[in-house]
Structures are given as C-alpha cells and as structure tokens.
Structure 1
Amino acid sequence: MRTTLQVIAERAGCTRGAIYWHFTEKHDLLREVIERAPFVFFSEAETVSRSTMPFSGLRHCMLRGLKEVQKNRHLRNAIELAVFGSECPRELLGENSADKLLALIHVAVLRGKACGEVKSDTEAETLTPLIFYVFIGALRTGTLMPGDTLLFRKGTDALNLVFDMVLEKKEMSNES
C-alpha cells in the first residue's frame, strides 16, 4: 500500500499544501521523520556491548527501548516507516539496521560468554538470531498494535525468558 501525501497530511493534522511547503518530495519527509525519531536504542546498545555486563546491559536496553516505543506515538510512527514500512528507501536508513542489530547482539553474546555472564553453552550463532527475532516480534507488536497491551506484554515476557535461559545455563537445542 502506497502512502500518499494526503494521508500523511491527514495523520499529521495539516493540509497537503503545508506538507509541500516544507518538503519537495515524500522521501524528504521520510528522512526528516526518521532523523527526528527519539529512538536512542542503537547508541545505547553500542555502549552496553562494551560494558562489563554486556549481555545484561543489552537486555535492559532492549526492554527500555520497547517500553519507549509503546508510550511514544511519534517514535512508533517513525519505526513503522523505517523498519516495517515498504516505502522507505534503504538509502534513508544508512547501514542496514537489521544487520547492525544482529551484530550488536552477537557482540554482546560473545563478550558475555568471555566474561562468564552468559552461562549457556549454546553457540552465539544460535543465540543471536533467537534474541533478534523475539525482539523484532515484540517491537513489531508495540509499533503496529500499541493498544494490544496483553500481546505486547507477552512479547516482553518472551524476551525475558530467552535472556533468563541464557543467563541461567539452560541449554537450547542447536538442531535444525
């Protein structure tokens, strides 16, 4: 589904002419929305991945990010456009955010294993996508269905369960 400037104007509570006054094309508007989004998740995740407790820090960063998404409509709109929307050109996002998130999770798992924080013997190559997919599922719920608090809570519970399993040395199967 293509979002028109008319739809954007209606959602923003202004006229289409006002949108054209400030932006020459829709991509300019998308760029501005993404740049103004107060989602500091990536900078926080990079910081905690270098901390003494990288895995626990990542957990808290992810949960805090999800709570912020749930309560901030502007942030939800920006994430919907940038992450879950099909109209946002990749060049507006810079580095592929999925690859960046996978790399941050992988570093936190590896560093967590090295410092003894991660107790699970499950390989980082298995833990990384597991954490990624559970987080993205909870993020998608919080972004696209913010009113469904039960489903959102179940998503954060699932993320906590994965972190608990890894921190408490519960083994997950590496079989495909």
Structure 2
Amino acid sequence: MTPEEKIAMLWERAQIETVMLDFGRALDLGDWPLYRKCFADRIRVDFERLTGFPEIEVDADAWTRFAELALGQVRRHHQYSNFAAKLEGERATAITYMVARHFKATDRGGSTNTQYGWYENSFQKLAGEWKIVRLSHQFQWVSGNDALFDFSEPALAAQMACVFCDANRVKQSGPADAP
C-alpha cells in the first residue's frame, strides 16, 4: 500500500469507529435521532443471545423505537474497546468489545445489570457516510438483575411484537445472503 492508501484506510476506519462511538453515546444519552442516524434505512439485527429471537431484518425507525422503549426505563453506560475493522471497498465489518451497564432503583433485587461481550457489525457506505447494515450483539455473560427491564410494559411489548414478528425473520440459507 502507498502512504496515501494507508492514510485513506485509517480515515475510513476512524469513520466506522465514530459510528460505533455515536451509537453508544446515543444509547447513553437517549439521543434517539443520533442513534437512528447510525443505521441504514433497513437493517439486520441479531440479538438472539440476549432476546431469544432469531435474526431479523427490520426498518431502522422501528428498531430505534424498540431501543428507546426498552432502554428508556433504565440509566445506561456503554463502553467500547478492542475495535477491529476490515474494509472491502464500500463495505466493512467490525468487532467492537462492549460493557453495557444498566441501573434502575428497585426494591426487588439488585439495581444493576451489566452485559459483557462484543458487537460483530457490518457497515456500508451510503451517500458518503458509513452506516450499520447489520447489528449483531454477542454478549458473553450478564451479571445483575435482568428484572430491571420490564418487557411486559404495553408499549414495549407491542413494539417487540412488531420488530420480532415472523415476517421480519431472516431466512437462514447461507453465507451468500449475508450483507
């Protein structure tokens, strides 16, 4: 690689890392317009280890609303590290380690819940900006009180039914189908 190509590659990697940092900061602040800005209009989402639902393809607005309802009931603090991106033209993949802390005052059980793991995301450059096209949350373990999240809350339950419905389920057939 020429020095110019190396600089261009580092710039693109920095832009992808910025998307992930904006993603985490938006979650922590509840800045849902910034969170939505991190995504393409339609995204694939694999949160199966956390939710039990298989991978879906969904409108990013619907996913953002789900995140807002699910996380709006707790205080949040996300930390990212061990960032590694691979670029292939206008597409990229990246692994980002994460620790996601959640807090909610409660009189039943602990007040914290922490997830440890990483994201294995896919990105695409759209209109000159990197966007997440596949969000894959691979937590390794959780500590604390899972009951901080009330998935029976009516608005959240309705949004979950919309987001995780059978019509959005990604049909598993092979690597050629991956974004």
TM-score (norm 2): 0.30
Higher helix share: 1
Higher strand share: 2
TM-score (norm 1): 0.30
